[in-house]
Amino acid sequence: MQLSQTLCIKDQSIRCSHCDHSLGKQEKNWKHAANLDEVYLQQLGSPYTTGDEVVLRRFSCPGCGYLLDSEISMPEDPYLEDSLFAS
């Protein structure tokens, strides 16, 4: 079952749509199994100059490096919850 352009569910686990690497059970937040790259928005320059502490988080597949998702948050904030369930 395709969840997005980058993620699918197969055998009750979240998987990278590019290489089929498992990112864990579908009941859990898959972001904890992904590679994380964080950068402060101010380092990216204009037009990303809002706030000194705002970070861009990029989550990629540990199997192939494919970019799976990104989010903007404060450094101390937990990951956005992306628990995905197939119906």
Residue 82: the pLDDT is 66
- pLDDT tens, residue by residue, 8-41: 999 999 999 999 999 999 888 899 999 999 998 8
Q: What proportion of the chain, given as a percentage, has pLDDT over 90?
A: 63
Q: What's the domain range around 67?
A: 7-73
Residue 28 located in a structural domain? yes
pLDDT confidence band for 83 (50 / 70 / 90):
low
Residue 2 located in a structural domain? no
Q: Which residues of 22-36 are buried (b: 16+ CB within 10 A; e: fewer)?
A: ebeebebbbbebbee
pTM here is: 0.85
Using the predicted structure, report yes or no on whether residue 87 has a pLDDT greater than 60.
no
d(CA 36, CA 15): 16
Report whether 60 contacts 6 (CB < 8 A).
no
Tally of structural domains, the chain: 1
